[in-house]
Amino acid sequence: MNITEFQKWVGDFYQERGWTGYGPFIRVGFLMEEAGELARAVRAIEIGRDRPDEGEKPAVEARQELVEELGDVLGNLILLANQYEVSFEEILEAHRAKLQKRYQKSETE
């Protein structure tokens, strides 16, 4: 599945469940919540347990949690893009162009 197909699939999946009725401000709140969960997953991988009363997670479990949280962030980004009718292809191309322009090598290098 390519990114365009995935963007449509996510939109359809959430629409079928009635989860797309939230406006952009609420969706950004969900995105921030998921970003926090992603940060927690990264921290668990990088420095181990989250709290002293928690045990260490096996590496496979910690990685799976990371993958799931990355997916949750991506899903919320897709839904936000859909609300503004912005395709992920457009986002990817604009981001690439911005980085290439900003960090292009000068002719003297």
- Residue 57: count other Cβ atoms within 10 Å of its Cβ: 17
Strands (E), 1-109: none
Distance separating alpha carbons of residues 59 and 5, to the nearest angstrom = 31
Domain topology for 3-103: Helix Hairpins (1.10.287)
Instruction: Write phi, then psi, for 3 (nearest 5 degrees).
Output: -65, -35
Q: Can you tell me which residue has the tokens 């002719």? A: 107
Question: pLDDT of the chain along its 109 residues, tens only?
Answer: 999 999 999 999 999 999 999 999 999 999 999 999 999 999 989 988 767 777 788 899 999 999 999 999 999 999 999 999 999 999 999 999 999 999 997 655 5
Distance separating alpha carbons of residues 87 and 60, to the nearest angstrom = 33
Structure tokens at 89: 């292809």
